[in-house]
Amino acid sequence: MLPTIVILGRPNVGKSSLFNRLVGRKIAIVDDTPGVTRDRKEAEARIAGRDVRLLDTAGLEEAAPETIQGRMRASSEAALREADLALFVMDARTGLTPADRAFATWLRRQSVPVILVANKTEGRFGGQAAFEAYELGLGDPVAISAEHGDGMGELHDAIREHLPAEAEEQEDPDRPLRLAIIGRPNAGKSTLLNALLGQERMITGPEPGLTRDSVAVEWRDETGALVRLVDTAGLRKKARIEQALEKMSAAASIAALKECEVAILVVDALLGMEEQELRLARLAEREGRAVVIALNKWDAVEDRAAARRRIEDVLTASLAQMRGITVVPLSAQTGRGVEKLMPAVRETYAHWNRRIPTGELNRWFEAMLTRHPPPLSEGRRIKLRYATMPKARPPTVVVFGTRAEQLPEDYRRYLVNGFREAFAMPGVPIRLQLRGTTNPYAESDT
C-alpha cells in the first residue's frame, strides 16, 4: 500500500492549491471563495522520490455535526485516521486565527505525525510571517507558496523525513492495472470493452458519440489479475468540438488518459492512423503513459499486408518517440484477436514499470559514449560523467556531466534510442534529464 498524506486546514488557506502543486496537475478546483472543496479529493503523486496517496480535504470548521460544515469536518477527521502523515496548512498572509490554534491543539493529540505548512509566503516579508506559526506547537513551519511553487523543495525534504520506512518494492496483488481505451468516435472502443468483459456493459451502435462520459469498470482478466478499465468518449479534432457537453466529454477523456498507466489506442483499420490518432498517441507520450494500439475491424480489411505497412510507416515517421509500439490486429465485433490484447498490455506495462540497476546502466552509458562521444558545444567539450535511473513509470534516465544541459537534440535522441534498444523497452515513453555538474577547472576544461 502507498503511504497516505492528508492535507488539512481551515477554509481558504490554499489546501487545494497545494494538492494540485504536489500532484503536478490541476485536479482540485481552486477559487477564492471559502468552502469550494466539500468532498475528499484523492490522487497518486510522486513526492520526495516516493509514490504516495494524497488526500485533499474540506476546510476544518467548528460546526454542529448535522450541518454541512460539520459533516465536512467529520470527513476530514476520517481522512486523518487513515493517513500516515498530515500537512496542516495555515495562511501566513492572514496570520494565526483562533480556528488554527484550536485545530492545532486537536492535531497534537492525534497519533499521526504532522508537518506545519505556512502557505502564501511569497513576497519580501513572507518568510517572516511564517515565524508566527511556531506558536502552534507543531514544530518548525515550512514556508511555501503553493500558487507560485516557492519552498516546494523544502516541503519535499520534510515529507521524506516523516514518511514511514520504505518496504521492499512489491506489487500489491490487488492493486488494479489502470487502463484507458482512447480513440476517435466510432472506432469501436465500447465494443472492445464489451469483448474484453464478455458482456454487453456499454451501449454500442453505428452512431458515433454514443459514449459521452468516461466509464470505469473493474474486472479480473484471464490471469486473475485485477484491471480497472476506463472507456472514454471519442475525441474529435479540437476545431470540431463545439457543444458544451462534448467539451466536457473531451475533458473527461483527457483526464482518464492522465490517470491511466497504459492507454489502448483503438484505430479503425479501414481508416488507418490519421492525425487524430497521432495526436492522442503524442498526448499519451507527453503524459508519460505506455500505449498499445488495437487495430480494430481487422476482419473487414482486404489487403492486410498493405494495411500493416501503412500503419508501420506512419508510426516510424510520426511517432519515433515511442518506437516499437505494439500493434494488435483484432475484431472487437467478432472477438477475433481480442485474446492477444491483454498479454500485449501486460508486457508493455512491464517495460514501462522496469528499472535498470545503476551498474548495468553505466556500463551501457560508457559504451554509448565510446561509440559516439558527445559533440562540442560552442567550441568546448561536453563531458558526460555518469547516469542514474531514479524512477520508472515512465523510465527516466538522468545524465550528469559538465555542460550536460547543452547536449544537442540529436545526441539526446541517440541516447534515448540506444537505451530503448539495449534494455528492450519498445512502445513506452522514455524521459532523459540532463544535470550539469560544477567543475572548478572549467577554464581549462576544453
With 0-12 CB in 10 A as exposed, 13-18 as middle and 19+ as buried, what is 287?
A: middle
Is 347 within 8 Å of 426 (Cβ atoms)? no
Distance of CA 336 to the CA centre of its chain: 33
For the chain, the C-alpha Rg in angstroms (whole number) is 25
Is 117 within 8 Å of 141 (Cβ atoms)? yes
| 244 — pLDDT class (breaks 50, 70, 90) | very low
**Residue reference for cell 497521432:** 278
Cβ neighbours of residue 423 under 8 Å, at least 6 residues apart?
354, 356, 364
Separation CA 250–CA 283 (nearest Å): 13
Q: Does residue 208 have a cis bond before it (omega within 30 degrees)?
A: no
Residue whose C-alpha is closest to residue 332's, from 224, 197, 234: 197
Q: What is the mean pLDDT of the chain?
A: 80
Between 289 and 59, the higher pLDDT residue: 289
Between 21 and 436, the higher pLDDT residue: 21
Is 374 within 8 Å of 381 (Cβ atoms)? yes
Coil, strand or helix at 367? helix
pLDDT(270) > 90:
yes
For 333-371, the pLDDT digits (tens) are 999 999 999 999 999 999 999 989 989 999 999 999 999
Q: What is the mean pLDDT of residues 391-411?
A: 89
H or E segment and range at residue 3: none
| 215 — pLDDT class (breaks 50, 70, 90) | low
| 255 — pLDDT class (breaks 50, 70, 90) | low
For 29-70, the pLDDT digits (tens) are 333 444 433 346 788 888 877 889 898 887 765 554 555 455
Residue 381: all three cell numbers together: 567539450
Coil, strand or helix at 261? coil
The residues with which 387 forms a beta bridge, in sequence order, are: 399
For 144-198, the pLDDT digits (tens) are 988 888 888 788 878 988 887 664 444 555 678 989 898 888 888 888 988 888 8
Residue environment code for 216-241, b if the CB has 16+ CB neighbours within 10 A, otherwise e: ebebebeeebebbbbbbbbbbeeeee
Separation CA 92–CA 144 (nearest Å): 9
Cβ neighbours of residue 94 under 8 Å, at least 6 residues apart?
13, 120
Is 357 within 8 Å of 412 (Cβ atoms)? no
Residue 56 sits at φ, ψ, to 5 deg, of -100, 130
Q: What is the mean pLDDT of residues 411-419?
A: 94
H or E segment and range at residue 247: helix 244-259
